[in-house]
Amino acid sequence: MKNIVLDALKHRRSIRKYSSEQITDEELIAVLEAGTYAPTGHNKQDLWIVAVQKKDIMEKLIRMNATIMGTDTNPYYDAPTIVLVFGSPLDENPNTIKNGSLILGNMMNAAYAIGLGSCWINRETEMFSTAEGKELIKQFGLPQNVIGVGAISLGYPVKNPEKALPRKENYYRIIR
């Protein structure tokens, strides 16, 4: 079946090399808004999306994430924008991670649809459970008990992504 959305889902790839040029506000808002349309259990919408383009905060995020990762490289791949997703604590909403993951997926697919690159980034749960992370949560104007779910790096890809690797055999099953 041919369909523009299905084709985009098949061709989106994680981007790990970005141009230093900042994305436009229109592009950023389109990606963020796509995130807000991801489904959330019982339509609670108890998640928060924070886009960071401010250099000193980005440098702090890079350092925090790299420390947890045990590297001195940039875990956000030098993208000009970092988008973070936060959610209610798991004891308040056990679906927080699932809901936040859907938001991140929506934003990655939206980014691809408008010509941007993105890559899922991990370790935000650990980053924002630290004192330094909690201070950033405060700076972002979020409720103090939120948890980090994940992030995406976002920007213009330096080159077109590679073709998708073949999907494994028997990846899905149809039971009738």
Domain of residue 103: give its range. 16-155
- Using an 8 Å Cβ cutoff, are 50 and 146 in contact? no
The span from the first CA to the last CA of the chain, in angstroms, equals 21
Structure pTM?
0.94
- Residue 10 belongs to a domain: no
Model pLDDT, residue 165: 84
Model pLDDT, residue 5: 86
Residue 115 sits in a domain of what CATH number? 3.40.109.10
Amino acid identity for residue 76 in this structure:
Y
DSSP codes of every residue in 89-157:
-TTT-TTHHHHHHHHHHHHHHHHHHTT-EEEEE--HHHHTTSHHHHHHHHHTT--TT-EEEEEEEEE-B
Model pLDDT, residue 160: 82
Mind listing the pLDDT tens digit for each residue in 46-63? 999 999 999 999 999 999
Q: Which among 28, 51, 19 has a CA at the least distance from the CA of 110?
A: 28
Number of domains present in the structure of the chain: 1
Model pLDDT, residue 71: 95
- Which positions of the chain have pLDDT values less than 70? none
- Residue 175 belongs to a domain: no
- Residue 168 belongs to a domain: no
The residues pairing with 83 across neighbouring beta strands, listed in sequence order, are 51, 152
- Residue 8 belongs to a domain: no
Q: Using N-to-C axis directions, what is the helix angle for 96-113 and 4-11, rounded to 10°?
A: 100
- Residue 6 belongs to a domain: no
